[in-house]
Amino acid sequence: MKKNTLLYILLFFLIAVNGFFLFNHLGGPRGLKQTKDPMFFVFKQLDFNEEQLAEVKTLNVKHEKDLNKINDRLRQLKDQLFSNLHKNQLDARLIDSITALIGENEKERDKVVFYHFKSIQELCDEKQKEKFKAIIKDAIRQGSPNGQQPPHPREQSVHRPPRG
């Protein structure tokens, strides 16, 4: 009898752990897939309703297509740039031209991301806009070195770290 009780307890534990895993990693609230949607955290924090979620999913599809086009072009340009490594004689104008195009593509990617977030913000009500603002501010801060907010351009010379 003791052997059966132990097996039942172990079976119940395994079922509970598997259920927890399946819910947290595959399902999530409102059918959003946490593992497939990089914006899951934002949607969860903003508590979007079904209409907002449908709009955001449409925006995300367009955003992903736009970024894929830019990233493909960026890969081509970087391949073109680094294909010049093996050459004995480098054409500085060609390198400058390619890197300028890479810079333009990076600029375009940043603009696409900015306007995507702007579109998401426009779907928010006033309370959600405040939360969204805080999330974006936090994300920018986390993207900076040491988790600090980037310095204001006029303050850069004042807070410059010592050279070593």
Residues of the chain with pLDDT under 70: 1-3, 6-8, 10-11, 20-40, 143-164
Mean pLDDT of the chain: 77
* CA atoms within 13 A of residue 91's CA, in its CB half-sphere: 8
CB of 95 closer than 8 Å to CB of 81? yes
CB of 77 closer than 8 Å to CB of 101? yes
> What is the per-residue pLDDT for 155?
43
For the whole prediction, is pTM greater than 0.85? no
Find where tokens 């006029």 sit: 154
> What is the per-residue pLDDT for 24?
64
Domain ranges of the chain: 69-135
